[in-house]
Amino acid sequence: MGLLLGGRGALVREVGAAPLAGGGVGGLAQFQQGVAGIKGGLDAKGDVTAGAVTTGSDGKAQVPLTVTNHGQQSYRYVIQLNFTDESGKVLDATAVTVQDVAAGQSAQATAHGNRELTGTVKAEVANAVRY
């Protein structure tokens, strides 16, 4: 797990996804773990936009995220991002926490996959919670 500096001073923490038996990925489990202690969290999928998937220097998928806080106060975000193939099958998943996005502001983050993927890979914001 690493810390990344997001735009506008937001702190970003990436929470990796653990592989499941059979080659699947536990991105949902990691997301649920990240939101387990959140009280009063709100659905924030509409606040998160995923860019184009690229391959990082480590050969793993990565995608830029833009988080826009449409609320009236500062919020933290926990985001589950799925990497899918053209048919929508989940190939990999990860969770990212973006902290302290001020009201009306945006923050940038990068979600990093956990494995090398081939073929056409898309990114889908599966879940997002702000609190």
Which helix (H) or strand (E) segment is 28 a member of? helix 27-35
pLDDT for the residue numbered 53: 97
pTM for this prediction? 0.75
Compute the average pLDDT of residues 14-38: 53
User: pLDDT category, 16, cuts 50, 70, 90?
Assistant: very low
b/e code 67-101 from CB counts within 10 Å (16+ = b): bebeeeeebbbbbbbbbbeeeeeebbbbbbbbbbb
